[in-house]
Chain A
Amino acid sequence: MLTSSPPRPAPAPAASRTRPARRRTSGSRWSLRLAAVAYVGVLVALPVGLVLWRTIDQGAAVFLDAITGPEAIAAFRLTAIVAASAVVINTVFGVGAALLLARYRFRGRTLLDLAIDLPISVSPIIVGLALVLAFGWTTGWFGPPLQNAGLQVIFATPGMVLATSFVSLPLVVREVLPVLTETGLEQDQAAQSLGANALQRFRRITLPTIKWALAYGVVLSIARTLGEFGAVRVVSGNVGSQTQTVTLLVDERAEQFEPGAYQLSVVLIAVAALCIVLISIIRPNEKK
């Protein structure tokens, strides 16, 4: 058998976790704490609390009625379809774009990098109008040909998916890209020299490396797509039970002083809260 004996250094000491330093001056601490609590309280907790309180105040029967009526069921179903489609599209595109940006140098790379951030800075209303211009069935560039092929985009689900994907486009890319950049190419190249093809490397090396960042990006996207209102409003036509998502239905009920707006809001808030809990579970794993 082989006999060479390498050195045996002592096992590496476990990495010691260092706490961030904290100031202890009590005066400034108290005033800062007060300011922060008041700020979050007035801006977030109070309004959300009021919505909750209004819902509870109206009772369980009203709540059930409001969220199980035919309009509400249709809105929930449409929201689920639109959000799920947009999240899937952006996950695939986001991972692809992040890989492209992290691993390749090409003409227009900087432009692509900047363009990905555009949806965050542009108002959703403008996104909606732009999509109508491009896909509208009489005026749009792509509208008439798609219409002839039997696919209606504007005032239909495809347009709503497009609008929702547009506004949530950067979320996955921006989570995954830094992890890929930091990891570098070496693990991938090591796997390649060990015989792994592109698909095997993606599945066995890249995906496990980015999984927490990806999960975080997906949860963020879910939260964002469920809540999307502006762009969807422009492209959907807002027809009750047909092209009306939950946020649009909330808006309609609130505008028309119909009952049930707060009850629907509570459901959306509950989902958002769940997303935040998921994020807080994912976050520590991401920073390894």
Chain B
Amino acid sequence: MGIQALDITKRFGAFLALDDVTLEVGSGELTALLGPSGGGKSTLLRIIGGLEEADSGRVVIDGVEATGIPAQRRDVGFVFQHYAAFKHLSVYRNVAFGLEIRKRPKAEIQRRVRELLELVHLEQFADRMPAQLSGGQRQRMALARALAVEPKVLLLDEPFGALDAKVRKELRDWLRRLHDEVHVTTVFVTHDQEEALEVADSLVVINHGRIEQVGSPNELYDHPANDFVMGFLGPVTRLGGHLVRPHDIEVLTADSAGAVPASVQRLVRVGYQVRAELRADAAPATAQVAGPGGGQAGAPGAASVGRPAGAEPDAAAADTAVQLTRGQADALELRVGSRVWLRPAQHASVLTAR
């Protein structure tokens, strides 16, 4: 049950958008397809919805073969980034559209539309035209419209991508709660890792037309399969020859086994957090980091900050970023120029840098 997309390949001219991708989504789950733009996630969603045809592969929805069945007979709800509101129809008629197409009795349509408008809290806007709504309201209308026909699956293509940050965050929480009530199998595409981590039951990271990793948000965050997934799901810094999250680095005031000596270059306070940028000493013979992959000689002072999604190690930016709470920073009495020793925290996810 749920959705199965099996061995999907799709090319646009010479560009390989999806390379033999197989995806299974459990019934009633809320799944996020996460990845950079151009990675193929929207294409996969559109293939599942029947808006795009795969070159090869099959789609099975709720146990029913959907390959080759046109979108209008797939029973999927689709929500677009730019709302795709029917501009010439009122909010009420927009939501009623699918039911009118299905020739449901008028009384039933009326009841169902009222119910849905209540669900998305637009009941007082029923007679407005879409142009009179804000972006967030339009997207809620689009969601109600998609849910009206009781689709087997709900597909959302960057549903909050066109909204401003605040509305985005509100709608995100709201989608999560809505899903907890409606329980329709839902797949949404996003390039925002925070959105995916916060909302989804399970994550599918897609890049270059391939699935990099599938799992729960915590699994992926704590045990990324590779440096791409690690870099995409959160901030990453280099410590010696390893990739570590900045908040997973311990700062010690005395030397200790496996710690790398470093000096503080810069301290930036961001609200309740302190970000320290440190430079490891150029002591190649002794600088070793104890990671799960075993100790390995760190390149001299080789550490770069940020998300190395395919970024080359850059000796010029030889910094390690560490995230601390204010309390920690104060306790360590960190100043620019302070000498400290760094090592990954005990449960840190550590990947060997390539």
Contacts of B180 in A (CB 8 A): 4
Cα distance A130–B70 when bound, in Å?
Answer: 44
* B234 smallest CB distance to A (angstroms): 26
**Is A195 a contact partner of B134 (Cβ separation < 8 A)?**
no
**Is B171 a contact partner of A195 (Cβ separation < 8 A)?**
no
Interface stretch (choices B14-22, B82-90, B302-310, B327-335): B82-90
**Is B181 a contact partner of A3 (Cβ separation < 8 A)?**
yes
Cα distance A268–B118 when bound, in Å?
Answer: 57
Cα distance A64–B240 when bound, in Å?
Answer: 101
B336 on the A face (CB < 8 A)? no
Interface stretch (choices A7-15, A236-244, A249-257): A7-15
**Is B167 a contact partner of A4 (Cβ separation < 8 A)?**
no
**Is A193 a contact partner of B78 (Cβ separation < 8 A)?**
yes
* A144 smallest CB distance to B (angstroms): 45
Q: A186-B84, A190-B86, A194-B145 are in contact. Are A6 and B174 (CB under 8 A)?
A: yes
**Is B133 a contact partner of A11 (Cβ separation < 8 A)?**
yes
**Is A9 a contact partner of B121 (Cβ separation < 8 A)?**
no
Interface stretch (choices B33-41, B136-144, B343-351): B136-144
Write the chain B residue with the least CB distance to A211: B88
Which listed residue (B84, B120, B136, B174) contacts A189, Cβ 8 A?
B84
Which listed residue (A3, A186, A195, A205) contacts B72, Cβ 8 A?
A195
**Is A193 a contact partner of B70 (Cβ separation < 8 A)?**
no
Residue with the highest number of chain B CB atoms closer than 10 Å, among A186, A187, A195, A209: A195
Cα distance A257–B336 when bound, in Å?
Answer: 103
**Is B86 a contact partner of A6 (Cβ separation < 8 A)?**
no
A196 on the B face (CB < 8 A)? yes
A150 on the B face (CB < 8 A)? no
Write the chain A residue with the least CB distance to B133: A12
**Is A209 a contact partner of B87 (Cβ separation < 8 A)?**
yes
**Is A192 a contact partner of B71 (Cβ separation < 8 A)?**
yes
**Is A8 a contact partner of B121 (Cβ separation < 8 A)?**
yes
B270 on the A face (CB < 8 A)? no
- Scan residues 85-122 of chain B and give those whose CB is less than 8 A from a CB of chain A: 85-89, 97-98, 101-102, 118-121
**Is B119 a contact partner of A12 (Cβ separation < 8 A)?**
no
- Scan residues 1-25 of chain A and give those whose CB is less than 8 A from a CB of chain B: 1-12, 14-15
Q: A208-B88, A209-B87 are in contact. Are A4 and B101 (CB under 8 A)?
A: no
Q: A12-B134, A186-B80, A200-B101 are in contact. Are A192 and B72 (CB under 8 A)?
A: yes
Q: A4-B119, A4-B178, A11-B134 are in contact. Are A193 and B76 (CB under 8 A)?
A: yes
Q: A194-B98, A209-B88 are in contact. Are A9 and B167 (CB under 8 A)?
A: yes
Which listed residue (A1, A186, A193) contacts B146, Cβ 8 A?
A193
- Scan residues 160-201 of chain A and give those whose CB is less than 8 A from a CB of chain B: 186-187, 189-197, 200
**Is B84 a contact partner of A6 (Cβ separation < 8 A)?**
no
Write the chain A residue with the least CB distance to B88: A208
**Is A7 a contact partner of B132 (Cβ separation < 8 A)?**
no
Cα distance A55–B74 when bound, in Å?
Answer: 67
* A207 smallest CB distance to B (angstroms): 10
Cα distance A37–B192 when bound, in Å?
Answer: 59
Interface residue SS majority, chain B: helix
* B324 smallest CB distance to A (angstroms): 33
**Is B88 a contact partner of A195 (Cβ separation < 8 A)?**
no
Cα distance A197–B72 when bound, in Å?
Answer: 6
Contacts of A2 in B (CB 8 A): 118-119, 181-182
Contacts of A5 in B (CB 8 A): 121, 174
* A27 smallest CB distance to B (angstroms): 42
**Is A6 a contact partner of B51 (Cβ separation < 8 A)?**
no
Contacts of B50 in A (CB 8 A): 192-193
Cα distance A15–B174 when bound, in Å?
Answer: 27
* B133 smallest CB distance to A (angstroms): 6
Q: A193-B71, A193-B146, A205-B86 are in contact. Are A9 and B136 (CB under 8 A)?
A: yes
**Is A190 a contact partner of B132 (Cβ separation < 8 A)?**
no
Q: A190-B80, A193-B49, A193-B146 are in contact. Are A7 and B136 (CB under 8 A)?
A: yes
Contacts of A195 in B (CB 8 A): 72-73, 98, 101-102, 149
Q: A7-B174, A209-B88 are in contact. Are A193 and B77 (CB under 8 A)?
A: yes
**Is A194 a contact partner of B134 (Cβ separation < 8 A)?**
no
**Is A194 a contact partner of B101 (Cβ separation < 8 A)?**
yes
Contacts of A205 in B (CB 8 A): 86
Cα distance A3–B180 when bound, in Å?
Answer: 11
B312 on the A face (CB < 8 A)? no
* A203 smallest CB distance to B (angstroms): 11
Contacts of B170 in A (CB 8 A): 6-7
Contacts of B269 in A (CB 8 A): none
**Is A7 a contact partner of B171 (Cβ separation < 8 A)?**
yes
Q: What are 17 sample pairs from A and B whose C-beta atoms fall under 8 A apart?
A: A4-B180, A5-B121, A6-B120, A6-B171, A6-B174, A7-B167, A8-B121, A9-B136, A9-B167, A14-B132, A186-B82, A190-B86, A191-B97, A192-B70, A193-B50, A194-B98, A195-B101
Residues of B that sit less than 8 Å from A by CB: 49-51, 70-74, 76-78, 80, 82, 84-89, 97-98, 101-102, 118-121, 125, 131-134, 136-137, 140, 142, 145-146, 148-149, 167, 170-171, 174, 177-178, 180-182
Q: A189-B78, A194-B72, A194-B148 are in contact. List 15 more A-B contacts (CB 8 A).
A: A2-B181, A4-B178, A6-B171, A10-B134, A11-B137, A187-B87, A189-B84, A190-B84, A192-B50, A192-B70, A193-B51, A193-B74, A193-B77, A193-B78, A196-B72
Residues of A that sit less than 8 Å from B by CB: 1-12, 14-15, 186-187, 189-197, 200, 204-205, 208-209
Instruction: Return the 10 tightest CB-CB contacts between A and B, nearest first.
Output: A194-B98, A7-B170, A186-B84, A193-B78, A190-B84, A4-B177, A6-B174, A12-B134, A208-B88, A192-B71
